[in-house]
Amino acid sequence: MRWLLRELVAVDTANPPGRQLGRCGRVLRDSMKRLGLSPDLIELAPSRELEDPCIVRCSVGDGPRTIYFHGHFDVVPAQDPAQFRPLRRNGRITGRGTADMKGGLVSMLYGALAARDLALLEGHRIVLHLVCDEETGSVAGSGHLRAADLIDPEAVAMLTAEPTGGVIWHACRGAITLRVQTSGREAHVGYVHQGINAFEHMIRIAEPLTTLSHELLNERTSFPVESSEAAGSMLVVGGQAGAGAGFNAMPGSAWFSIDRRFNPEEELDQELARLTGMINRAADAAGAKVDIDVLQRQPSGSTEPTHPAAQALAQSIDAVEGAAPRFQMCPGVLDTRWYSQLGIPAFAYGGGRLDISHGPDEYIDEAAMRRCAAVYALFAHQMPD
């Protein structure tokens, strides 16, 4: 397992911008061939700055009931280029993407092979979906699987090896990302009486939204979360912003971003209408001209912990770890949503830790990778008919 993780981490697939995705896809495809599988490399249409975006897809076993093992091979940018030189020390592999989630890909791959070789599949087949572009919205990667009808709505389960730190994520938040632009009239600082200040309009529109962001923290989910402080509904106003051509001119345009992560109890269209309604009302009150671009709109997703597939996963974890796992809502957005939106029970479970995942000391324990591979193989076996 180790050799494959080291090869994968050594390919810098930082996203943004989405470097070397084709190269990493070929490393995966060639490694899977060496392991006796017959993967397909699906080349995707050019998108943004993604370099040779692609998906690696492979069937293991030939039963009629499909279980998806899904994961992504892009990573968040590194704090230090040395993170792309994986280090092995004290049973741990350190490097960018070891936890999120190249280590998970390796565990899923070996789990699928073990399930096949130990004849655990019994009427099931595992389809591996290894995608790019998860870290920046996943429309190019997982979105393509959906758009090209490569996800079978009759599938019995989907599992992704994201770094859950040993809990099962059975639910995730939805996402809305907006770019809000105001337009005024540019004027030299000596002629401000002729201008219309787009920045002033922008802050009047942003103000009620920042108030909302504090109120939303009290709109708490009833889904189990890591800590009670994390139960609120999330909104970031002004994660990115910009205005004007220079300090000595009244800005003729200004813009800011809004990122909303809403809880599973909240509804996508309602939340989008709440935000656009506030923006338009504030713009009217300020006499501002405003344009709203919807950059991302994704519903939340969830599967009941009592679902037979959820119970099969919990029992497999119990059998390997010697303790029943907890179910929690993921604090962010997950690729599970592409499947749960089709009615497929979908979960994340992995050996990496989320809290170190995007940081400078990202690592995964080799023993955790092996135990996860065993969980994934058993899960395929425990799935009800």
| Residues engaged in binding Zn ion (CB under 5 A) | 100-101, 162
Nearest distance from C-beta of residue 24 to Zn ion, angstroms: 14
| Shortest spacing between CB 344 and Zn ion, in angstroms | 19
Residues with Cβ within 8 Å of 225's Cβ and at least 6 positions away in sequence, in order, are 231, 328, 329, 331
CA distance 376 to 382: 10
Calpha distance 103→107 (Å, rounded): 6
Q: At CB < 8 A and 24+ separation, what contacts does 38-41 make?
A: 39/128
Nearer to Zn ion, 65 or 96 (CB): 96
> Whole-number minimum distance, CB 115 to Zn ion, in Å?
23
Burial of 100 (0-12, 13-18, 19+ CB in 10 A): buried
Nearest approach, Cβ of residue 134 and Zn ion (Å): 6
Residue nearest to Zn ion (CB): 100
Q: How far is the CB of 52 from Zn ion (least distance, A)?
A: 20
* CB closer to Zn ion out of 101 and 205: 101
| One-letter-per-residue 3-state SS of 277-291 | HHHHHHHHHHCCEEE
Q: Is 100 or 271 the residue whose CB approaches Zn ion more closely?
A: 100
Nearest distance, CB of residue 164 and Zn ion, angstroms: 10
Residue 367, token pair as written in the block: 């023993």
Q: Which of 191, 265, 190 lies closest to 221 in space, CA to CA?
A: 265
Coil, helix or strand at residue 373: helix
H helical segments located in the chain: 2-9, 21-34, 103-117, 142-147, 198-216, 268-286, 308-321, 336-340, 366-382
Nearer of residues 79 and 222 to Zn ion, judged by Cβ: 79
Closer to Zn ion by CB, 133 or 162: give it. 162
